[in-house]
Every structure is written in structure tokens, then in C-alpha cells.
Amino acid sequence: MKRILTTLLLAIMICSFASATITVTGQFNDVYNLGDSISIPVTITASAMGAHGFSMNLVCGAAINELFYTNSQNFPAHEGVFLMDTSLFLTKDILKEYIGTCKIKATLQGESSITFPTDGFKISNVLTLKPTIEETEFEPGQSILIYGDVTKENGQDANGFIDLEIVISNSSENIVQKGTINNGMYSINITLPAGMAAGNYLVKLIAYEVDSAGLKTNKGFVNYNIAIKQIPTSLELTFKENEIKPGTSVEVKAILHDQTGEKIDSTAIITIKRGTTEIIEGGGPSEKETGEYMELPIAYNEPPSNWTVFAMSNQLTAESHFVVIENKEIKAEMVNETLVITNIGNVLYNGTITIKIGNSSEERNLSLAIDGKKEYKLGAEYEGMYTVELVDENGESKLKEEATLPKTRTSASGYAIRDSSQTDRQFFARPLFWIFIIIVFLAAAFILIKKMRKKNFNSGGGIFKKKVKHPKVNVAWENRAMPLSKNSKLETKNKANFSSSIKGSKQDVSIVNVMTKNLGEVQANKGNVEEPLQKIINIAENKKAFVYENQNNLFFIITPTKTRTFKNEAIALEIAQDAKEILSNYNRIAKHRLDFGISIEYGSIVEKTEQGVMEFMSLGTLMSNSKKIASAAQGEILLGEKIKDKLTNVRTEKQDNGKVVAYRIKDIKYHDEEHSRFIKSFLKKNESSFRKADTNTNTNPGATSTDPKSLIKGFY
């Protein structure tokens, strides 16, 4: 009985000593990344306690059971509450390569243990990249900025490094660059190679963090594509043959190359000129697909010469040359018993030919101009069929055929070869021929005298007077002035009509628009506005501009086919300056002033010219831009974007009214600055005398004009 009581007392004592609890008071996140520190506040509550050890382990399934905290201190043997603040640093030394769900186990030796949190927490090594992609298409040689954000899976900003790689197919030399990640942001500035081929490229971004030992911890990557544009860099002209025989065709094509030399499909304007200036019929300008041959037949009698081919495509130009070679060639044919030889070459034919009849041959010296002919009368001792052959100086047979020859007086060989021109001269030397000519001449003189006497009788005071009808003068269409439109009072010799649909050739043109904004108002007040406008038209016509009238707009279109040059920007500027001067002078003396604006623009049209009238269709926004710019001009000249880039001697100032961007002329550089300063000084010193002279000119119509610009033009 005593033994049983002793056992129960020991059990009660043991139970009282085992009454200790472990409590975790902190909050745990769902996800932690490598390198994070987990704070673990622990509370131990005991009614009585002695010397016990306390430890904490990181438990990750069966893979990890790592002791990371231990405390061997003695706990007092009486009731109390004990607080401990511990932490866990998630390193690769503890976790090795493990990534996944883990828990923490806290153990009070000999008393109790607890595992927390209940569902565990995730340990991650993932970084998330969010690149900012504003554009994905770039030009070779362009500098681009690649930037974005990097966050850990736990939601915190990353700090580390980022590797950029642009993968170039079929090459071991990818574009590689390294950057840093600061507070979750990265930016890398990279310049693409100037010779980078057009196409799609893979961009790889790899972000990572490192620990104190330099080992990579958290990692992440993202891939996306960029495109490199195909940029035209050079234009090439190639020939099938660059030495052209007359009577054949020259075949030339334009090839547009990109930054790597690859071909680009586009269009090109090709012009073929005899020499360097003369555009011949069929020689363009013609629009062709790049890589497509333009063919131009060369006449059989075209003289030997150097020719030039020009091409334009995508603001690139090319020039090349070919040669029409010398072709010394004759053709022979039999016409009855006459051998006819024609020079079908492109040079004077001087050589020795051999004429064979049967088994006999005879050499003759032949001299023929281009397209010249020589005839030989052939005969034989006996009439019959003979083989006739002509061999040129190179030994090439030009004719060999059977011909029936008449019987005639022959040479010792039994055959006759007589020059037809000599035969004709013998005929002309005969007296009978000249008697006939004299009789014809006398008869013609008699008839003429008789007609003259009859005419004098009818018109010189006789009883019967005959009304003389004067023949109508047939004026050539190119000298005939035509009204610009049905009710227009303005006339032009170079009329242009707008067409919404036309088949013709594409032309890059310079265009001047003179807009008279209050034209109807001034005309209603009987203002003589037609006179200054007609002056402007006459000046533009002299500069070979086509004229098109549209309501209160006068368009002057300068085309390469009319001016025979592609550099028409200076002509357009001269027309605009003359127009401004004429209208400004009109406003100084007119009772009702014209509100005008002048624009100059450059663009493309499709045109076809017949009987001196050009039918055209505007391409793109050429006409509308010209109107908008002229509308924005207040008594001045404004330039469009394209024409401004071509007028390299003009300094401009940009103007933007929200509807259209234009450029005001600040200064025009004539040849050089010193020359320009001289002209300005000359105008300033003589301004008063010019005005006086103009006054005299107005009062005296016969006086010579002393307009300053006309004097300046004399210097050039």
C-alpha cells in the first residue's frame, strides 16, 4: 500500500513539473525569398521549471531538418514567463538547393515541442521582370533604352544585376550588356550596330541577386522580340550590256540595297539621256519596280556616243553610263539586175567590197554616208541565171543569191558591173536631156507670166475687182493662249487640268500656290486684279511652269519633263519671289488691297501632256498641304517641309499654327556671304534712286525699268 502511494506522489510531482507551454507570438508571411530574415518571437510559460535546453529547427519535409537556434540556459524552478526573440536567415548554406514549403519546430527539452505555422510557408528564389516596352521596331545604328521593374515573389523590390542579350541567328557574336537593379528598377542603354540586318530578334533579360559569397540566389528572366527595319542605304544601276550595238536595246535596272546590302523591293524613277542632258523619247522619267529592267531601243543609225542613266528611289540617287558603240555595216539586195548596197551602220562606211558573179570577182572601193545607198547594174555576156555574191571588207558575205542578168557589153571576164550614178551622169551629159529641160523651163515661165497679168488686171483698176481672201494663219498650239477655266479672265500657254484618274508617268515636282484670299471681294469692287495675276502667269510660263487655277488658288507646277532638269526648287523660289513682289507693288497703289499668301511645296504627281495641256493627278497630300500653307501665309512666302530640305541656300524659321507646319524664309544665301552683303549694301544705298526711277517709269511708259531685283539679276 505504501509503495503504491509513493508511485502516485511521484507521478503528481512529474505532472506538475511538466506543465510548460511554448507560444509563438509573431506573424509569418506566406512567401519568403532567399536572403530574407524571419523574426521568431517565442514565449515559454511554466509553473515550475529547472534546467532545460531550448532549440528550433527548420523542417522542410524529409529534405531539410536544420538546427538554427539553441539555448542551454537554466530556467528557474518556479512559475514564470520567459520571452525569447530569435530569427532565421534563409541562406543557401541552410537550404542548399531546396525550394518549397517549410515549417519551424520549437522544442523545450524534456517538456514540450511545437511546429508552426500550421500550413507552413513557402521559400522561393523567383524574381519577376516587367519590362517597359514602348516600341519594338528600331533602325540599325539607333540607340535604345531598355528598362523596367524587378520584384521578388515575396512582393519586395529586388537589388542585384541584370544581363541583356540580343540573339543574332547564325552568329556567335550576340549583343550582350550588363546592368544593375536598384530598388526594383533597371535601365540599359544600348546602341544597335549600324550594319545590323533587318528582321526579328530575340531579346533575353536575366535578373539575379547574389549573397555575400557571390553566389546567385534569386533569379528570373523574360524574353520578347524586337524588329530591325530595312533601311535603304544605296542605289545601284546595272546593265545587261553597257556597250550597246545600234539596232538593239539597252536594258538597265535599279537595285535598292539595305544596310547589309540585301535587295529592297521598291520603285525607282529611271531617266535615260543622250549625253548628260537630252532626254529622248521613251527615255523617261519612267517608274519601274526595283530589279525590273527598263528597255529602250537604240536606233540602228544612232551615232557612237556616251549615254547617261539617272535613277531615284527613296531619296537616294544613282548615275551610270553606257556606250553606243561604232557599227560599220552594210546591207545588200538584188532588185532585178541591180545590186543595191545600203549603209545600215552608224558611221561613214569606207572600205573595199568584192562583187562575185559566177566564178569571177571584182573589187570596188565603197564610200557611203549613214543611210546612203549605192547601186550597181550587173550584166553578162549571155542572158541567164547567175550566182551573185557580195563580200564586205571583213570577208563576210552580205548577199548570195541567184539572179537573172541581161546580156550587155562585158569586160574581159565576160561580166559587167556598172555604177548607176555614172550611168546617170552619162545620161545627163547628153544634149537631148538639156533640150528637154530648157523646153520645160520656158513653158513654166510662160504660164507664170500669164497668171501674173491676169491677177494685175482683176485687182488694179479694171472693171471687175476680185475680192482677195487672205489665208488664215495657223497658230501652233504651243503659242496659243488658253483661258485657265471656263469663266476665267486669265490666259496661259502652259495649261494644266486636274484629273481624278489618269494613266501617265510619275513626276516629282515643285509647286507654287498663289492664294488670293479675298479675290471675289476685290473683283466685286472693280479692282483690276487680273493684271498682276496675268503678270505672274507670264513670268511662270517663261520659266516653263504649267498653270492650274482652282477657285482663288493659282498653282504653278514645275516638272522635270518640261524644264529638262530635276532641280526645280530654285525655279519655284524665283516664281514665288516674283509673285510676292508683283502683288506687294499692287497693294501699295490699289484702293482695295489683296489678301494673299504664297506657298512652295514638293511632292509627286502622275501626269500626261497632250497638245500642250498637262493632265495631272496629285499623289498624297501635295495639293491640300499647298493650300493649307498658303492659307497660313500673310502676305509672305511659306515653305513646306519637303521643299525646305531641298533649298539648302535658304535659312528658315519654323511656324506651327496647330493645323499645318510651315517655314518662313529668314535669309537666302546667294553664292557666298560676302556677295550677299554686297547686294544688301547696294540695295540700301540706291533705294531712294530706285524709287525715283520707278516714279519716272510710271509717268513715262517708254522709260527703262530700274527695279532693284532686275538689276541684281544682271550680276548672275
pLDDT at 411 over 80: no
How many angstroms from the chain centroid is the CA of residue 450? Answer: 74
- 148 shares a domain with 254: no
Q: What is the DSSP string of 533-559?
A: HHHHHHHHHHTT-EEEEETTEEEEEE-
What average pLDDT does range 450-461 have in this prediction? 59
- 115 shares a domain with 47: yes
Residue 562: name the closest of 625, 619, 493 by CA.
Answer: 493
- Using the 8-state DSSP alphabet, how is residue 245 labeled? P
- 135 shares a domain with 117: no
pLDDT digits (tens, 9 = 90+) for 137-188: 999 989 999 999 999 999 999 999 999 999 887 666 888 999 999 999 999 9
Residue 711 lies inside a defined structural domain of this protein? no
Residue 309: predicted pLDDT: 93
Residue 269: name the closest of 302, 294, 240, 238 by CA.
Answer: 294
The CATH number linked to 599 is: 3.30.70.1230
Residue 477 lies inside a defined structural domain of this protein? no
Residue 513: predicted pLDDT: 93
Residue 325: predicted pLDDT: 92
What distance, in Å, lies between the first and last C-alpha atoms of the chain?
Answer: 144
- 366 shares a domain with 284: no
Domain termination site, one of 124, 148, 180: 124
- 532 shares a domain with 664: yes
- Using the 8-state DSSP alphabet, how is residue 526 labeled? T
pLDDT digits (tens, 9 = 90+) for 280-317: 778 878 888 999 999 999 998 889 999 999 999 998 99
- 650 shares a domain with 533: yes
Q: What distance in Å separates the CA atoms of residue 687 and residue 693, rounded to the nearest whole number? A: 10
pLDDT above 90 as % of the chain? 31
Residue 453 lies inside a defined structural domain of this protein? no
- 30 shares a domain with 131: no
Report the predicted TM-score, pTM, of the whole model to 2 decimal places.
Answer: 0.48
Contact between residue 307 and residue 272 where contact means Cβ atoms under 8 Å apart? yes
- 597 shares a domain with 645: yes
By three-state DSSP, how is residue 228 classified? strand
Which structural domain range is residue 311 located in?
Answer: 234-324
- 31 shares a domain with 146: no
- 501 shares a domain with 638: yes
The CATH number linked to 256 is: 2.60.40.1930
Residue 151 lies inside a defined structural domain of this protein? yes
Residue 675: predicted pLDDT: 45
Residue 486: predicted pLDDT: 63
Residue 434 lies inside a defined structural domain of this protein? no
What average pLDDT does range 70-94 have in this prediction? 76
User: How many domains in the chain?
Assistant: 5
Residue 69 lies inside a defined structural domain of this protein? yes
pLDDT digits (tens, 9 = 90+) for 463-521: 334 444 444 434 444 456 777 766 677 888 888 888 766 778 888 999 999 998 888 78
- Using the 8-state DSSP alphabet, how is residue 477 labeled? G
- 301 shares a domain with 171: no
Domain termination site, one of 124, 152, 183: 124
- Torsion angle of C-alpha atoms 523, 524, 525, 531, degrees rounded to 10: 10
The CATH number linked to 36 is: 2.60.40.10
Rounded to 5°, the CA angle 262-263-265 comes to 145
What average pLDDT does range 540-569 have in this prediction? 89
- 311 shares a domain with 342: no
Residue 645 lies inside a defined structural domain of this protein? yes
Domain termination site, one of 324, 355, 379: 324
**pLDDT band at 678; cut points 50, 70, 90:** very low
Q: Side-chain half-sphere of 94: how many Cα atoms within 13 Å?
A: 19
Residue 438 lies inside a defined structural domain of this protein? no
